Amino acid sequence: SDILMTGGDPMVMKTKSLAQYLEPLTDPNFLPHIKNIRIGTRSLSFWPQRFTTDADADEVIDLLRRVREEGGRHIAIMAHLSHARELSTPKVKQAINRIQKEAFATIRSQSPVMPESMTVQRFGRKNGAPRSAWELSHTTCSWLVTLAHRNFSMCPWRRHTKFSAMH
């Protein structure tokens, strides 16, 4: 089973507050059926210092690591991303590196999925723009995967035959 922390942005909380929710999960006997903790956040792109230089950045990395190592749970940061540029800054790359290598957490994302009529209306076909929500989503995922140098799982359609061949 999974827990998804979202609604607002859980990573905006100070680590002391976040720990009230995650600390019990460091005990493998507490709710043992919970195997996956997913944290939905925009902080990776809008506040990467949360994981690197903030006053309690070390504590949040340690908390995530302990939930994984002591609690035996899978931790995933569900990064809410809208564009590949959001992953291009040195601060974001440093945050990604720290989350993966020190907290041992997975970073996942998905591109926005819009109705086809909205996609065509918004993006048209000029300059090879996507003609459908499916094409837009796969194009965006391809940009994100390329930009991230395949360091983490980025696309919910990775099981799709055409997309899997890219990996």
Q: Is the pLDDT of residue 10 over 80?
A: yes
- Which pLDDT tens digit goes with each residue over 110-149? 655 444 444 444 444 444 444 444 444 444 444 443 344 3
Which has the higher per-residue pLDDT, 144 or 7?
7
What b-and-e string marks burial along 146-156, b requiring 16 or more CB atoms within 10 Å of the CB? ebbeeebebbe
pLDDT band per the 50, 70, 90 thresholds, residue 87 = confident
118 CB neighbour count, 10 Å cutoff? 11
Helices (H), 23-132: 43-46, 57-69, 90-101, 116-123
* Closest alpha carbon to 44 in 9, 14, 16: 9
pLDDT on residue 8:
78
Residue 26 exposure: Cα atoms within 13 Å on the Cβ side: 12
Q: What span, in angstroms and rounded, lies between the C-alpha atoms of 158 and 156? A: 6
pLDDT on residue 116:
45
pLDDT on residue 3:
92
Mean pLDDT computed over 66-77: 97
- Which pLDDT tens digit goes with each residue over 19-61? 999 999 999 999 999 999 999 999 998 999 999 999 999 999 9
- Which pLDDT tens digit goes with each residue over 91-102? 999 999 999 999
Give the burial class of 7: count Cβ atoms within 10 A of its Cβ; 0-12 exposed, 13-18 middle, 19 or more buried: exposed
Mean pLDDT computed over 154-167: 37
Q: Which residues are bridge partners to 2 per DSSP?
A: 36
Contacts for 85 with CB less than 8 Å, ≥ 6 apart: none
